[in-house]
Amino acid sequence: MTVTQPVKAVVIVGGGTAGWLTAGIIAARHQARMKAGGFSITLIESPDIRIIGVGEGTWPTMRQSLERMGVSETALFRDCDAAFKQGGKFAGWTTGAADDAYYHPLMLPQGFAQLNLVPHWMRETHKHSFCDFVTPQGRLCDEGLAPKLITSPEYRGLANYAYHLDAAKFAPFLATHCTEKLGVRHVLGNVVQVNQRESGDIESVLTPEAGEISGDLFIDCSGFSALLIGKTLGVGFKECGDILFCDTALAAQVPYETPDAPMASQTISTAREAGWIWDICLPTRRGVGYVYSSRHSSEEAARETLQRYIGPQHRDLPPARKIPIRSGHRQTFWKNNCIAVGLAGGFLEPLESSAIVLVELSAKMIAEQMPANRQVMDIIAKRFNDVTMYRWGRIIDFLKLHYVLTRRTDTAFWRDNVDPASVPERLKELLELWKYHPPWFFDEFDRLEEVFPAASYQYVLYGMGFQSEISPEDTIDTGLLASRLRQENERQTFELRSRLPKNRELLNKIHEYGLQPV
Ligand SMILES: Cc1cc2nc3c(=O)[nH]c(=O)nc-3n(C[C@H](O)[C@H](O)[C@H](O)COP(=O)(O)OP(=O)(O)OC[C@H]3O[C@@H](n4cnc5c(N)ncnc54)[C@H](O)[C@@H]3O)c2cc1C
């Protein structure tokens, strides 16, 4: 390939959620070129190595990603056992008391772009939780309500939402769509050799099943094995286990007591002795797992903790699957003509479902900035690395925020988590600042597609009882606007609570009648 030859052939190695989402997002953006025969996407997937098959919580970006790919939302609900997700509920993180819980909902606070409601909430002597003061969504979750109606078109909601879905079904679902509707070529084969040019660029990969496959741009979606970016190009891994201690997950699937049992509309994350337990409701079962630190708990104790949560009536379930977690990310994500996306790029504990959203954002950027030729590739790679590194850093800060605000001292895990040596410098600085200036809108979160905007920080900080010192003057000029936004919040809450159906009721209707396509 000469430096000015166009980039025409994209090869993706790996057919998990990362591989197929990346293929679909790029293919949807370059359909015209693909149909004209000037651009191709090939996805190679091992018939022998299973996809990770966990990862059931998504972010609202998924709606846009799927809609752009032309996926039917009704089909997603029916084929992937999908359900609605309206945020996260964090139980036991602050004090560990029975009533200790707060929401990180997906709706922004009322009038977020106009006014920071934090000072007004602080002055209201905390009659409501911060979440209830600024958005209806916590109360919708309390009541197990869906975020839309059966008459709402696909991908549109009355409240913001993402999905809980069966990860083992999602990748094959996307594969069918990408191959049948978007022209992605699917090769079942084991990559056993990677051929490089003198420059270090990857020229082709070899599979015994389908021979040699060449490409101009390679995307490594090979999961934890990081076949191209790690094993071939030797890009190192930046560990962050000294900040985020959880390094093991035990994943289980739990049946409902009855087929029509109520379904929570939020991921429930319950703090435990040495980590936390996720609980995700799908229509046919729950996905439940314990993410813990092996430095603070033995596997046996962790299994007991998980079993206690699941309940004695489920003693006979198959043993929870153990998955080691290596917290951290690649030192660079795009090297030569190879980009790491998904687990090949890194992984952090799934406390805020940040992995799949990063896949979507990476794929979107690759699709938008698809290099015209090799000559300009390094310039785009530099940008991509800069943005991606920024995102990993912010996600690490945000996840650590959940731990650093705890007042729990009952186990070494929680005590160690507030050790200043384990807190990133930037987060320490922000916490200092937020004592006097509550985070808002453009404060420090200035990127176009910030994974966690200032609103997310507000929900966690004030959900966990963080105190910002507010002077009375801070609220005088904006008092009128604040009370208008408060009234609007109450009006919306009333309206949504009276109109929205229960989560399971709507899912049943979607299965029976479908949503209106957009
Ligand atoms: C316990 C746990 C919980 C999680 N929960 C969430 C969550 O709630 N939300 C979220 O966003 N994320 C979550 N994640 C992360 C999420 O599961 C992953 O980001 C997502 O599934 C993407 O995985 P992947 O496609 O990168 O890798 P994989 O699913 O592992 O796919 C790797 C692919 O590479 C192929 N492959 C490997 N080697 C070769 C080879 N030599 N030749 C050819 N093909 C090869 C395999 O066959 C497979 O198709 C969780 C992860 C874990 C471990």
pLDDT digits (tens, 9 = 90+) for 340-369: 999 999 999 999 999 999 999 999 999 999
What confidence tens digit (pLDDT) does each residue in 288-325 have? 999 999 999 999 999 999 999 999 999 999 999 999 99
Residues 207-215 have a mean pLDDT of 98
Q: Which residues are catalytic?
A: 85
Q: Does the Cβ of 122 fall within 6 Å of ligand 1?
A: no
* Confidence bin at 443 (pLDDT 50/70/90): low
Q: Does the Cβ of 23 fall within 6 Å of ligand 1?
A: no
* Contacting residues for 126 by C-beta, under 8 A, at least 6 apart: none
Per-chain mean pLDDT for the chain: 96
- pLDDT of residue 5 exceeding 90, the answer is no
Q: Does the Cβ of 187 fall within 6 Å of ligand 1?
A: no
In the chain, what percentage of residues exceed pLDDT 90? 92
For residue 249, which phi and psi values (nearest 5 degrees)? -125, 145
Q: Does the Cβ of 158 fall within 6 Å of ligand 1?
A: no
Residue 329's pLDDT is 98
Mind spelling out the 3-state secondary structure of 48-100?
CCCCCCCCCECCCHHHHHHHHHCCCHHHHHHHCCCEEECEEEEECCCCCCCCC
Question: Which H helix or E strand runs over 234?
Answer: none
For a ligand 1 pocket test, name from 356, 358, 362, 399 the mutation site with the most ligand atoms within 8 angstroms of its C-beta. 356
Q: Does the Cβ of 14 fall within 6 Å of ligand 1?
A: yes
For a ligand 1 pocket test, name from 11, 17, 184 the mutation site with the most ligand atoms within 8 angstroms of its C-beta. 17
Q: How far is CA 360 from CA 61, 132, 335, 351, 388, in A?
A: 8, 30, 19, 18, 12
Give every strand in the sheet of 202-207, ordered side by side.
Answer: 193-196, 202-207, 211-214
Residue 347 DSSP SS3: strand
How many whole angstroms separate alpha carbon 30 and alpha carbon 140? 39
- Residues 278 and 291 sit within 8 Å (Cβ to Cβ): yes
Residue 172's pLDDT is 97
- pLDDT of residue 445 exceeding 70, the answer is no
Q: Does the Cβ of 422 fall within 6 Å of ligand 1?
A: no
Residue 127's pLDDT is 78
- Residues 27 and 41 sit within 8 Å (Cβ to Cβ): yes
- Residues 245 and 365 sit within 8 Å (Cβ to Cβ): no
Structure tokens at 404: 């650093």
Residue 446's pLDDT is 56
Atom of ligand 1 nearest to the CA of 356: 11
What is the 355 CA–ligand 1 centroid distance (Å)?
9
Residue 447's pLDDT is 61
Structure tokens at 302: 């962790």
Task: Among 117-131, 178-192, 220-234, name the one with the lowest average pLDDT.
Answer: 117-131
What is the 80 CA–ligand 1 centroid distance (Å)?
16
Question: Which H helix or E strand runs over 376?
Answer: helix 374-404
Atom of ligand 1 nearest to the CA of 59: 11
Residue 367's pLDDT is 98
Q: Does the Cβ of 54 fall within 6 Å of ligand 1?
A: yes
What confidence tens digit (pLDDT) does each residue in 244-253 have? 999 999 999 9
Structure tokens at 301: 């104790």
- pLDDT of residue 501 exceeding 60, the answer is yes
Q: Going by CA atoms, what residue is nearest to atom 35 of ligand 1?
A: 14
Residue 4's pLDDT is 86
CA-only gyration radius of the chain, Å: 23
How many whole angstroms separate alpha carbon 457 and alpha carbon 463? 10
What is the 181 CA–ligand 1 centroid distance (Å)?
23
Atom of ligand 1 nearest to the CA of 278: 8
486, amino acid identity? R
- 2-29: b or e for each residue (b if 16 or more CB lie within 10 Å)? eeeeebebbbbbbbbbbbbbbbbbbbbb
What is the 322 CA–ligand 1 centroid distance (Å)?
15
Residue 224's pLDDT is 96
- pLDDT of residue 40 exceeding 90, the answer is yes
Atom of ligand 1 nearest to the CA of 341: 26
Q: Does the Cβ of 206 fall within 6 Å of ligand 1?
A: no
Q: Does the Cβ of 46 fall within 6 Å of ligand 1?
A: yes
* Confidence bin at 10 (pLDDT 50/70/90): very high
- Residues 463 and 102 sit within 8 Å (Cβ to Cβ): yes
Half-sphere exposure of residue 88: CA atoms within 13 angstroms, side-chain side? 27
Structure tokens at 373: 């030729």
Residue 93's pLDDT is 98
How many whole angstroms separate alpha carbon 428 and alpha carbon 435? 11
Residues 360-387 have a mean pLDDT of 97
- Residues 426 and 101 sit within 8 Å (Cβ to Cβ): no
Q: State how beta strands 185-188 and 101-105 pair.
A: unpaired
Residue 3's pLDDT is 83
